[in-house]
A and B are shown apart, each in its own frame.
Chain A
Amino acid sequence: MEVTGQGGAPLDVARIKKDFPILDRRVHGKRLVYLDSAASSQKPLSVLEAMTRYYETTHANVHRGVYQIAQEATELYEQARAKMAAFIGASGPDEVVFTKNATEAVNLVAYSWGRANLGPDDALVTTEIEHHANFVPWLQLRQERGTDVRVLRLQPDGFLDLSHAEELLQGAKLLAVTAASNVLGTLPPVRRLADIAHAAGALVLVDGAQYVPHLPTDVGELGADFLAFTGHKMLGPTGIGGLWARRELLESMPPFLTGGEMIRDVRLDGFLANDVPWKFEAGTPPIAEAVGLAAAVDYLSALGMPAVRAHEEALTSYAMSALHERYGEHLVIHGPLPAHRRAGIVSFAYKDVHAHDMSQVLDQAGICVRAGHHCAKPLMRCLGVGATARASFSVYNDEADVDALVDAIGQADTLFG
C-alpha cells in the first residue's frame, strides 16, 4: 500500500504513469491518452493491489465477528475512515460517513437534515453551475415540501454572479454550492460565500467531488458544514464516497437509510440508532472499496496535494495556451480564463463541430474526452449550448497528452471543415 513519497516535490509524471496499468493500453493502435478524469479517474496499482490483498487475506464482514480476520477487516475499514478524515482536515474519523458516492452524500443531507429542517416557509440557495447531484435533490425537496430554492446565477465570464448573494441568502437555511464546476472548472469563492451564509444563519454544503481529488482540502478553511466527496474521481474505486459533517450536526440528524449496522437496539416497538457515523451506514458497507480509497489517499498524500495542484494548474495553463496558439478564434474555451482560477478542466468548442463528433474524432487518435451536457443542464442552458467537449487532467497527465489533444482536434477539419 505504501507509495514512496516525493513529499511535495514537483510531480515526476513519467514515473507516475508507470503506476497506472491502464495507461499501457493501446486504443485503435494508439497510445491511450486519458483526459476524462473529471468523469472518473484511473487507478494506481497500489489501489488495485490493496483491494486484491484485502480479499485474498482479510475479507470478513465488519463490526460483527469476534474472530481474527473480522477484527482485521473492521480495523482496515475504520483506518480508511481515519485517513479520509485527515485528508480533508476533519477533527476526527467519526465525522466521516461512507456512502456509495457524492450523489448519495448530498441525498443523505437532503433527506435527513433537509426533511427535518426545511418546510414550505424555508429557503435554500444553490447555484446555476451545480452538477445534477447537488441540484436535483433540492428540486425534489421543493416538490415535496414547497421549500423555496434560490439560484445564484452564472456570469458570462464563467464566474458566479455574487452581487445578490447576501440578498438571496437572507433567511435561507442552507447554501449548497460546488467547490469546483465539473464543466467549466470554475472555483467559486466558497469561503466568502460560506461567511455570507453563516452570517445569515444558513448551513453550508460543499460539493467537493471535483475539488477533493485535485486541491488541498480543509473543511475548516472552506467554511463547510457538510462536504460531499466521491472515491472514484480521486484515484480510488467506484462504489465509495462520503459525507463529512461536524459531529454535533451529524448527531442532531435523524437516520437516512435504515436497517442493519445503523442500530444499537431494536425492539418490537422501536429502535435506538447507533452512534455517528455508523448511524448513517445502514447495511454491509463497501469494505474493499474503503481499503482501496485509503490506498488512493496514501498515493495522493505521498505526492502531496500542493504539488498535485501545482502540476494540474500548470498543465491547464499549458493546455489553454496551446489550444489558443494553434486554433486562435476557431476554438472557444468555456469558463474562466486564468488557469489559477479553475480546476484542471477545459471545456471547448472547435468551429461548429459538435462535441460528439469531436469526441469521435479524438477517440480515433486514442484520446478520451467527454462529450455531452456533463449532468449540468441548467449550466448548459446558460451557456446556450447542448453539449461541450471536455478535457480534464489528473496526476498522470503531461504535456505530451495535451499535445496529442491539440494535434488531433484539427483532424476534424477533414470531415467537417
Chain B
Amino acid sequence: MKLFAAEDKLSRVVTDNYHLLPVINRFGIRLGFGDATIGEICSERNIPVSFFLVIINAFHHPDYFPKSEFLKFSPKLIVDYLRHTHQYYLSWVVPKMERQLENLVESSEANAEDLKLIILFFRKYKSELLYHIKDEEDSVFPYVLRVTSAFEDGVPLTREDYGKSIETYEKEHSDVDEKMTDLKNLVIKFLKADYNDNLCNDFLITLFRFERDLIDHARIEDKILVPMIARIEKMLKNGQ
C-alpha cells in the first residue's frame, strides 16, 4: 500500500483517484493547483498536512487505519470536515440521486408501478439518512466540540456533559447501510419494469459512488473521531 505523502503533487492525487475530487473540495481546495505538492498547498491554506493526508489516505485505501497519527490534529478539524461532507450529501448527492430516479421512472412508458415503489423506498432511505445526519449535527458534533474545548482550552464541562460518553452518543450506521444495500439489490436483481437502461445505469453509478463515500465517512466517525473523543474523555476524567 503506497500512501500519499506531503511531497506528492496534488495533481497526481487527482489523476490516481478522481473520486478524491469532492474530498479535496471539502478542504476548500479547488482545481488549478499546477505542480504544487500536498505540503505546499496545505501550508498555504493553513490546513495541517497530517490531517489532510489521513483523510485522503483513508479514502483511497479502505484498509488504512491511522493509529500513529492520533491526536496530531484537533477533533475540531474532523468535525469541520464531516460537516462539509454532510453538506455535500444534502445539497448535491442526495438530490442528484432522487432526480436520477425520477428521470428513470419517467422513462418508463408502461408498468411504472414497480419503479414508483423504488422511489417510495428511496424516500424512506433518504429520511433515515437525513435523520441520522441531523442527529449528528444537532447533538453529537456540539458535544464533541465541547469536550474538545474542555481539553484544549480548559473550558470546564457541564455536569451533564461530564456524565456522557461518545460511544453511546454516535448512533449506529447499520440501519442506514442496510437500506442502501437493499436499494441496490432491489434495482440490480429484481427490477423488471421497462425503463431506459442508460438512466438506470446513471442512477446506479451515483448510488455506488455514494455508498463508497458513506463507508469512508462512517469510518472516519467510528474509527477516528469516536476513539479520539473517548480518549479525551478518559484524560479529562483522570484530571489530566
Q: Do A and B come from one complex?
A: no
Taking beta carbons and an 8 Å cutoff, which residues of A are in contact with B? Answer: none
Taking beta carbons and an 8 Å cutoff, which residues of B are in contact with A? Answer: none
